Amino acid sequence: MGVQNAVLGAHNVSKAFFGNPVLREVSIQLAAGRIHALLGENGAGKSTLINLLSGTLAPDSGEILVDGRPVTALTPREAHDLGIAVVQQELSLASHLSIAENIGLGAYTRRGGLVDYGRLAAAVAEIGKELGLVESPDTPVGRLPLGRRQIVEIAKALYIKPRILIFDEPTSSLAAPDVALLMRLVRRLRDRGVAILYISHRLNEILDFCDYVTVLKDGSVTADRPLAGLDPTGLVRLMVGRDPRNLFLPYASQSTGALVLETKDFRAAAAVGIDFELYHGEILGVGGLVGHGQEDFMMGLCGAIPAKADHFRIFVDGEAVRSAPFASVAEANARGVAYIPADRRKEGLLLPHSIDFNLLLPLFASRSVERRRGAEESAITERLAQRLNIRGDRRRPAQALSGGNQQKVAVAKWLPLEPSVLLLNDPTRGVDVDTKREIYLALRAMAAEGKAVVLLSTDTPELVHLCDRVMVFHKGGVAATLPHAQASEEAIVAVAMGVQKAPALRGEAV
């Protein structure tokens, strides 16, 4: 399967973090003068693969090949010297250094040991012209808006005149004219013989100008082929095609049809213009690519960030009790809205404290100054532990638990407050299969009690199998709300990618 002019490649590389495999025997070959697309859902292993190719990480097994020769212990510095440049998604800029100093960082030309500012100025001017970088090169990068910083990041990669150029979602924060400019630039670089690896979630971009595609799915390559002859639907199918697992319970709606929350033109940070209503007993899915406003939507709902709405109602026993979004998390909790954050280690739990203490924490917040009562407390924690199947000694610190069990504690602790709305932010991220199943059971049980569950998930099958409806976010708004029957993986991913707004793709009956 060797490519004639492969300049950079990986051969059967595997990588695991803390025993969790992220890449399994992945091979990829970048060729000079070719634009190679790397596709995959969030968490498929794309970033890890880039880090291996650019020397930031070392593979557990397998080889990285440069010009067909294996290189061992590649570092970013050596990768630079070999002509490998990466346009990072997590920008690699120093905000207090100037644009020029950032562009040259790590590769300054020297004169008498000092940075040659004359050469730097000339190089920056030349690259700046090509990229439309109009800001003065002495401007500190911290003064630039995010989109312009992205341009500086690209300029920085071009500065070393790379033979191999890797773009990690370069357009995610770019304005449309800059995207067009970037496309022209990438084509020019290809024509000059640069090998390009291009990661993007914008399928139209990829179809527009990439030549070849490798698709990653759960850490394995599922497709490695020329792009010719593929359409957006075909690409989406390549990304989601997986073995169905016996993980989900048969779907049964428990929605009662009684409103618990409704809002019109709800706005919070990146989330704008959201209309939705929520019913008792419903599991409402929230999907979309990371960073399209869904997190802000959840945070805004629970009062963690400022939110506005034209119309906002929370109902208790059919009575509207509130007409504006919550100004604080405490207010939201008082009205029966609880938020379970994605980062359970930092935001969900106090790791050094006991499991019991963590389980009681929201209860403490709801009480004024009074003596703690041991017997009552242990009765509560006992009940919670049984309910979510938290096993073992609860006097242990929360950090002693596995990720999945920590998540169960983070969910269970809200139950004594009897919330009517539970907002969960990606509760099964990094959780093993068995615990996932337990969490699904718990969510179902809560819905059966009449609680409304809002489930933000980056794991698309969850949205498909658990949810009564799925709101799919794109560019800060809800691109479509798919009822269960239409919420197939293909449909959700297609809407999330902006391929189509209406769910015209035929949903597989589940």
Partner 1 sequence: MAGRGARLYWAIQWRRNDGLGALFLVLAVFAVVYAVLFHGIFAIGAASKFVQGWFPTAMVAAAQTIVMLTGGIDLSVGPMVSLGSVVAASSMDGPLGVFGGVLSVLVLGAVVGAIVGVFVAIGRYPAIIVTLALSFVLRGVALLIMPRPGGFVPPLLSDFLAGVHPTTAILLLLLVIIWKLYQATPLGLGLIAAGDNAEGAYRSGVSVTAARMCAYVVSSVLQALAGLYMAAKTGSGDPLIGEPMTLAAISAAVLGGVGFLGGQGTMRGALAGSLLMSILISVMFFLRLPLVAQYIVQGLIIIVTVALPLIRVWWRRTA
CB atoms within 10 A of CB 453: 24
Piece of 101-109, 330-338, 426-434, 482-490 that binds partner 1 (CB under 8 A): 101-109
115 binds partner 1 (CB under 8 A): yes
- Residue 506 to residue 489: CA distance in whole angstroms: 11
Locate the DSSP E strands across 426-486. 452-456, 469-474, 477-483
Nearer to partner 1, 124 or 472 (CB): 124
Q: Compute the least distance from the CB of residue 166 to partner 1, in Å.
A: 11
Kindly identify the residues of this chain, within the stretch 128-167, that bind partner 1 according to CB under 8 A.
Answer: 136-140, 156
Binding track over 47-66 against partner 1, x by CB under 8 A: -------x-x----------
Q: Compute the least distance from the CB of residue 136 to partner 1, in Å.
A: 7
Nearer to partner 1, 122 or 320 (CB): 122
Q: How many residues bind partner 1 (CB under 8 A)?
A: 41
Tokens at residue 20, please? 């969790």
Q: Compute the least distance from the CB of residue 194 to partner 1, in Å.
A: 19
Nearest to 89 by CA among 47, 56, 42, 127: 47
Q: Compute the least distance from the CB of residue 86 to partner 1, in Å.
A: 7
> Among 25, 63, 116, 331, which residue interacts with partner 1 (rule: CB under 8 A)?
116
- Residue 352 to residue 248: CA distance in whole angstroms: 33
> Among 16, 58, 105, 223, which residue interacts with partner 1 (rule: CB under 8 A)?
105
Nearer to partner 1, 96 or 188 (CB): 96
Q: How far is the first Cα of the chain from the last one, in angstroms, to the nearest whole number?
A: 38
- Residue 29 to residue 10: CA distance in whole angstroms: 7
Nearer to partner 1, 43 or 140 (CB): 140
Kindly identify the residues of this chain, within the stretch 69-98, that bind partner 1 according to CB under 8 A.
Answer: 76-77, 79-80, 86, 88, 90-98
CB proximity list for 47: less than 8 A, separation 6 or greater: 89, 168
110 binds partner 1 (CB under 8 A): yes
CB atoms within 10 A of CB 428: 22
Q: Compute the least distance from the CB of residue 157 to partner 1, in Å.
A: 10
Binding track over 228-267 against partner 1, x by CB under 8 A: ----------------------------------------
Tokens at residue 213, please? 């595609």
- Residue 69 to residue 90: CA distance in whole angstroms: 29
Nearest to 335 by CA among 303, 371, 358, 289: 303
Residue type, position 422, single letter: L
Tokens at residue 326, please? 């919550």
Q: Compute the least distance from the CB of residue 121 to partner 1, in Å.
A: 4
SS3 state at 388? helix
CB proximity list for 112: less than 8 A, separation 6 or greater: none
Nearer to partner 1, 78 or 449 (CB): 78
Nearer to partner 1, 141 or 210 (CB): 141
Q: How big is the chain by its Cα radius of gyration, in Å?
A: 25
Binding track over 5-44 against partner 1, x by CB under 8 A: ----------------------------------------
Nearer to partner 1, 56 or 222 (CB): 56
- Residue 34 to residue 224: CA distance in whole angstroms: 14
**How many residues in the chain?**
510
Judged by the rule CB under 8 A, the positions of this chain that interact with partner 1 are 54, 56, 76-77, 79-80, 86, 88, 90-98, 100-102, 105-108, 110, 113-122, 136-140, 156
